[in-house]
Amino acid sequence: MKLLAISQAHYKVAAVVDEQGDKLTCPVYEFFESIEKHYQGSADGLLALIERIANNGTQGLSSKLCHLVDEENKIYELIKGDLRLFFFKGHCDLIVIATHGIIKKTQHTKTSDKNRAISYKKHYQKEHDKKCIQILGELP
C-alpha cells in the first residue's frame, strides 16, 4: 500500500493512495484541489490542523475539531466549517492516515463515508502486517 506524506514533524501525517493500473491518485489531494473558493478558509483550517497534528499529535484537539465517527473501527474526522477529513491512526510515528474528505451538509455522517474509511483502514492493516507500506514524498 502506498501512502502520500502530507506533513512530517514529530509525527507523520499521510494520506492513502489509490492505485489504478499505472496511475496513482490521492483522494485527499484531489479533495483539496477541488474545493470551491468559498470553502478555502475551511480548507486552510484543515491544513493547519494537519500541521498541528504533525507537531503535537491528536491529543488536546477538542471535539469541535476532531471526533470519533465509528467507535468499533476507530475512524475519526477532522472538522473545519463544513469540511470533514476522515482518518484513522497508524502505527508508531505514523499517527494519522487520511482517507478522504467531504463537504458535510447534514448532522449525520453517511454510512458510505464511514465504510470507505473502514475499507482503507483494513487494507492498511493487512499491508502493514505484511510490511508492505510505502510512504511517498509526492505522487509520481
Partners of residue 8 on adjacent β-strands:
12
Q: Where are the domains of the chain?
A: 2-136
2-136 CATH fold: YaeB-like fold (3.30.2310)
Q: What is the pTM of this model?
A: 0.90
Query: For position 82, what pLDDT does the model report?
Result: 94
Dist. CA 27–CA 52, nearest whole Å: 21
pLDDT for the residue 95: 77
**15-47 in b/e burial notation, b at 16+ Cβ within 10 A?**
bbbeeeeeeeebbbbebbeebeeebeebbebbe
| Average pLDDT for runs of 10 along the chain of length 140 | 92 92 92 94 95 90 92 95 94 84 86 93 95 86
Tell me phi and psi for residue 44, to 5 degrees.
-60, -35
Report the alpha-carbon distance of residue 8 to residue 124 in Å, rounded: 19
Determine the pLDDT at residue 104.
87
